[in-house]
């Protein structure tokens, strides 16, 4: 009979005899075999008091806590709740700052346009900049901002290298140019080309074409990684450039569609009904309305689940896959979106220049877009307008002032000077101007707060 007693009884005799019972290590500290109760007393001792494990839970409740693993609050959600609240608060603060930045940026754009239109005190905008930055420069900054925002999404957030973004820029420009200036050549009715809404419809068609083309080439291309992907997109850009330069492989004497190396001229201006969006002040507002819309849309994307998925892919594609992120779908989606942005900008460029040629859409064009992205901050949406503005203004400044610094300076000296300035920016602000300026401001505030203390 003694040998058939339950283990609990044997355990009680051993404890009363002073025998040391090993403590189980497979449960949190302070939780007995019953899973509840006072960490200083075992379940058997509470039973001897007539309380049991349920009473132990009552003791814990009266002490203001419940039997639970360390870090779990009374709601049972644990420290993760506090962390989630902190993350949510941080996201909310980021959204509020972005909203303020969009409003301030839009007001600044509006003030610049108002100065150019109203000429207060006989002053034009170019007079305020010494003729270095004109409305022409501001329109170009707006057009290229639309392209670089898409490039930042692709490279800075999704981590997919691209050296062929100018190809999609070219698709938008040439679709608008061919279907508005070459209507007779391709057999479209001239009445259709004369309609004010036709260029807008063509613009949308160009965006769809660029997005569809990006989808087709992106499925195999985005299987590549790192330098191989960069080389693949570089090859894509070169192929598109050659096709446009060689008139789609057709003889220009038989059917001149792209104009070969000379390009296409006599592209019409955009209009809304009887209102033509020209002179340049009107076009300025159109371009920046598009650029601001693209910025706002992209900010919404990066602060959404899609943006978090893109950042996870950038951090580790393998880890993102294990967490259930559709990495292939997300990469292809952002690749197509960046192509649509570039095509839209290309159409605006074509109607701004009223002429297109293959030159701006080659490898150098793609490289310049990447440089603008890196200058501003490749992992920031706001880095796009800043990087484009700094790059174009530096070029204009060097072009207009280089001869006063170095006599006999030519184009090669301008390239060298521009390259040196880029190197200096990258040395002191390797993450771009957006992050660099933010860090300088943060450090300055910290020093001021330390000095006051």
Question: What is the chain's pLDDT, residue by residue, as a tens digit (453 residues)?
Answer: 334 443 444 444 434 444 444 444 444 444 443 344 444 444 444 444 443 433 333 443 333 333 333 333 433 444 444 444 544 555 566 678 889 999 999 999 999 999 999 999 899 999 999 889 999 999 999 999 999 999 999 999 999 999 999 999 999 999 999 999 998 888 889 888 889 999 999 999 999 999 999 999 999 999 999 899 999 999 999 999 999 999 999 888 889 999 999 999 999 999 999 999 999 999 999 999 999 999 999 999 999 999 999 999 999 999 999 999 999 999 999 999 999 999 999 999 999 999 999 999 999 999 999 999 999 999 999 999 999 999 999 999 998 888 777 777 777 888 888 899 999 988 988 889 998 888 888 888 888 888 776
> How many angstroms separate the CA atoms of 385 and 381, rounded?
8
Judging by beta carbons within 10 Å of its beta carbon (0-12, 13-18, 19+), is residue 191 exposed, middle or buried?
exposed
Backbone Cα Rg of the chain = 33
* pLDDT at residue number 163: 94
Q: Which residues contact 79 (CB under 8 A, 6 or more apart)?
A: 71, 72, 73
pTM: 0.79
Residues 6+ apart with CB under 8 A from 32: 39, 41, 42, 43, 53, 56
Cα–Cα distance between 209 and 378 in angstroms, integer?
A: 26
Contacts for 132-137: CB closer than 8 Å, 24+ residues apart? 132/393, 132/396, 132/397, 132/400, 133/393, 133/396, 135/280, 135/281, 135/284, 136/280, 137/392, 137/393, 137/396
**Do the Cβ atoms of 360 and 166 come closer than 8 Å?**
yes
Torsion, Cα of 423, 427, 430, 433 (10° steps): -70
Please report the pLDDT score of residue 92 as a whole number. 60
**How far, in Å, CA of 418 to CA of 420, rounded?**
5
Residue 89's pLDDT is what? 53
Per-residue pLDDT at 88: 55
**Distances from the Cα of 301 to the Cαs of 185, 229, 295, 298, 330, in angstroms?**
41, 24, 10, 5, 12
57/35 Cα distance (integer angstroms): 9
């Amino acid at each position: 009979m003694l040998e058939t007693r339950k283990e609990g009884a044997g355990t009680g005799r051993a404890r009363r005899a002073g025998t040391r019972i090993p403590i189980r290590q497979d449960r949190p500290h302070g939780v007995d075999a019953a899973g509840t109760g006072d960490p200083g007393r075992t379940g058997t001792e509470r039973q001897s008091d007539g309380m049991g494990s349920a009473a132990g839970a009552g003791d814990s409740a009266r002490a203001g806590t419940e039997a639970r693993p360390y870090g779990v609050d009374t709601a049972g959600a644990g420290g993760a709740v506090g962390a989630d609240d902190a993350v949510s608060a941080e996201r909310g603060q980021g959204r509020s700052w972005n909203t303020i930045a969009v409003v301030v940026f839009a007001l600044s754009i509006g003030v610049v346009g108002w100065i150019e239109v109203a000429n207060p005190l006989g002053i034009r905008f170019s007079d305020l900049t010494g003729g270095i930055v004109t409305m022409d420069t501001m329109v170009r900054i707006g057009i290229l901002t639309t392209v670089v925002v898409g490039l930042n999404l692709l490279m800075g957030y999704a981590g997919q290298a691209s050296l062929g973004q100018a190809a999609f820029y070219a698709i938008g420009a040439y679709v608008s140019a061919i279907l508005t200036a070459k209507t007779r050549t391709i057999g479209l009715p001239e009445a259709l080309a004369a309609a004010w809404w036709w260029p807008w419809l063509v613009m949308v068609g160009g965006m769809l074409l660029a997005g569809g083309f990006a989808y087709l080439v992106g499925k195999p291309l985005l299987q590549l990684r790192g330098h191989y992907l960069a080389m693949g997109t570089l090859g894509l850009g070169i192929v598109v450039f050659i096709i446009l330069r060689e008139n789609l492989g057709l003889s220009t004497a038989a059917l001149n569609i792209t104009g070969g190396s000379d390009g296409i001229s006599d592209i019409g201006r955009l209009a809304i009904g009887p209102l033509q969006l020209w002179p340049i002040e009107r076009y300025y507002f159109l371009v920046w309305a598009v650029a601001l819309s693209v910025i706002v849309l992209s900010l919404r994307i990066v602060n959404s689940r899609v943006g978090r998925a893109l950042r996870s892919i950038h951090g580790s594609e393998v880890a993102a896959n294990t967490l259930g992120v559709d990495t292939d779908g997300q990469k292809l989606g952002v690749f197509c979106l960046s192509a649509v942005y570039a095509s839209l900008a290309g159409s605006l460029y074509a109607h701004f220049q009223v002429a297109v040629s293959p030159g701006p859409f080659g490898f150098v064009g793609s490289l310049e877009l990447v440089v603008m992205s890196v200058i501003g901050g490749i992992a920031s949406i706001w880095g796009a307008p800043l990087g484009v503005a700094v790059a174009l203004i530096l070029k204009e400044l060097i072009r207009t002032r280089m001869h006063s610094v170095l006599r006999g300076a030519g184009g090669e000296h301008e390239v060298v000077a521009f390259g040196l300035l880029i190197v200096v920016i990258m040395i002191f602000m390797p993450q771009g101007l957006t992050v660099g300026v933010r860090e300088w401001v943060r450090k300055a505030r910290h020093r001021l707060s330390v000095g006051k203390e």
